[in-house]
Amino acid sequence: MKNTLRRWRATWNPDMYHGWGREKRYFEGWYFKLVDAGENHVFAVIPGISKTADGVQHAFIQVLDGKNCQASYHQFEALQFQPSPRGFQLQLGNNSFSADHVELDLPELQGRLGFKHRTPWPKMLGAPGIMGWYSFVPFMECYHGVVSLHHQLTGEMRVHGAPADFSGGVGYIEKDWGISFPRSWIWMQSNHFEKTEKICLMASVARIPWLGSYFIGYIVGFQWGERLFRFATYTGAQMKAGLGENTVSLSFRDRRYRLEIVGEQAPGAKLVSPITGNMSGKVNESMQGTLHVRFFESDKLLFEDTGRNAGLEIAGEVEGLLTDAWRR
């Protein structure tokens, strides 16, 4: 009963740990993007838990050094993974994570960073997070959450042994949990644009299993200043997707707005991804990509800019995600 209540609380608070009482075929991980003010250091730090179909468990912290295109995987005993049942707070060995800080004691990174002026994904009636009403569907293969679209960093780190001031930098936090990552997906994210407003773009398109079949699902958030524009399967938006030699293009529209993105790929590194709870998959992620963005109201261009330090993943059999015609 205790675990059931904890899972129900987490459903309404996606930032929290969701895996209470789940001992097999389960994973959960948070993605902390950390970029210093000078954009000399671009990191993704990913703490999480893996529980295989055989019940073998371990915790981990992955580190992706976006500038050097290097990734590392630090493994911990499962008992060292200590989430809070009352909110998003995770202790993992000498490392701790929450919505307002990260404290690291890893070979690449040591120190503590604070997060201020966080921008959480808004909660609405029947939609506790970015997945909308799909948050309540009990058999989804993978669930997704956004903890903060945009926030400022404070503090210092030692990066590969050298001191680095991250104050004035920008961060982003999202998470995933469930059984496996999708068979195929396209994901992109950037907070760094030439315009001075608070801006974040994240877009995800994936093949979603559904009652013996599947559908193409998509979730997009475009934070421009204090406004968040959402395009998603559950909002009734439409999409297009195309793939070039070194580019990927995504377009989304609803009755009022249209968002066009052209992502340019760049060198990256291999991250480990979950398959039935086991961290046995591989996905290449770049943090040096660029996203050219245009945003329209009807046919009036409201915003055009290029995002840098962009995370970009194109994984699996993506041909099934592509379409030249608008579709839901």
Q: Residue 316 half-sphere exposure, CB side, CA atoms within 13 Å?
A: 18
Distance CA 136, CA 30 (A): 20
* Average pLDDT of span 297-307: 97
Q: Which two structure tokens, joined as six digits, stand for 241?
A: 């997707």
* pLDDT tens digit sequence for 277-293: 999 999 999 999 999 99
Please count the other Cβ atoms lying within 10 Å of the Cβ belonging to residue 163: 9
* pLDDT tens digit sequence for 121-177: 999 888 999 999 999 999 999 999 999 999 999 999 999 999 999 999 999 999 999
Q: What share of the chain is helix, strand, coil (3-state, %, to 5)?
A: 10, 60, 30
Distance CA 319, CA 277 (A): 25
Domain layout of the chain by residue ranges: 2-327
Q: Please say if the pLDDT value at position 211 is more than 90.
A: no
* Residue 321 CA from chain centroid, whole number: 19
- How high is the pLDDT of residue 196? 78
pTM score: 0.98
Q: Please say if the pLDDT value at position 205 is more than 80.
A: yes
